[in-house]
Amino acid sequence: AQSVTQLGSHVSVSEGALVLLRCNYSSSVPPYLFWYVQYPNQGLQLLLKYTSAATLVKGINGFEAEFKKSETSFHLTKPSAHMSDAAEYFCAVSHFGNEKLTFGTGTRLTIIP
Partner 1 sequence: KAGVTQTPRYLIKTRGQQVTLSCSPISGHRSVSWYQQTPGQGLQFLFEYFSETQRNKGNFPGRFSGRQFSNSRSEMNVSTLELGDSALYLCASSLSGQAILNEQFFGPGTRLTVL
Per CB under 8 A, residues contacting partner 1 are: 32, 34, 36, 41-46, 49, 51, 90, 92, 94-106
Max Cα distance, the chain (Å): 43
CA dihedral 34, 44, 104, 60 (to 10 degrees): 40
Between 13 and 33, whose beta carbon lies closer to partner 1?
33
Amino acid residing at 44: L
- Closest approach, Cβ 15 to partner 1, in A, equals 27
- Closest approach, Cβ 110 to partner 1, in A, equals 17
Between 93 and 111, whose beta carbon lies closer to partner 1?
93
- Closest approach, Cβ 107 to partner 1, in A, equals 11
Q: How far is CA 113 from CA 12, 43, 89, 106, in A?
A: 11, 26, 20, 22
